[in-house]
Amino acid sequence: MRSILAFARLNIGIILIVSVLANVALGALNFIVQPLWRAAAVTTAVATTEAKSELEERSAVAKAKSKEKAKARLKSVATAVPLVGLGAAAFFEYGDYQEWLKDHPEGEFSAYSKQVMQETQEIASEVLHELPDISHFDMEKLLARMQTVLDSAERLID
């Protein structure tokens, strides 16, 4: 009976020492690894924020460029000489479409035309106010003329 009691006491002591050592080792590992995890989380958050910021900046620049192109396009349509100007405007529109295709390789002219008309409608009143007083354009006529230019550009593509 004494040997069984001694054996149990020895095993309980060994188990206690091993568990204490394991807890100390895990605590030390946690003490070392936890700051690394936090640093990694902070680095990831910073990188994600920078990527989002860069993407938003690119998007804003692209939108501003698109708006300026729409203004220039609308001004050229408004002041174009009827036949020669329409052909030139359609040719320039075809060039703009080719540039648009680089950013949207899967895109079709109908999507481009829709985007152009939407941007044109957004800035039409602003452009009309910038035109000289001699040229009094009706917004609907101007938008119809822009649609005619887009239709002519589409014929160049086909």
Q: Whose CA is closest to 73, among 35, 106, 122?
A: 122
User: 146 to each of 51, 60, 70, how far by Cα in Å?
Assistant: 37, 25, 10
pLDDT of 94-149, one tens digit each? 888 888 888 888 888 888 888 888 887 777 777 767 766 655 666 777 777 778 87
CA distance 106 to 104: 6
pTM for this one? 0.48
Helix (H) or strand (E) holding 158: none
**Domain locations in the chain?**
2-157
Count of C-beta atoms within a 10 Å radius of residue 128: 17
Q: What percent of the chain has pLDDT over 70?
A: 84
Report the helix count and the strand count for the chain, using DSSP H and E.
4, 0
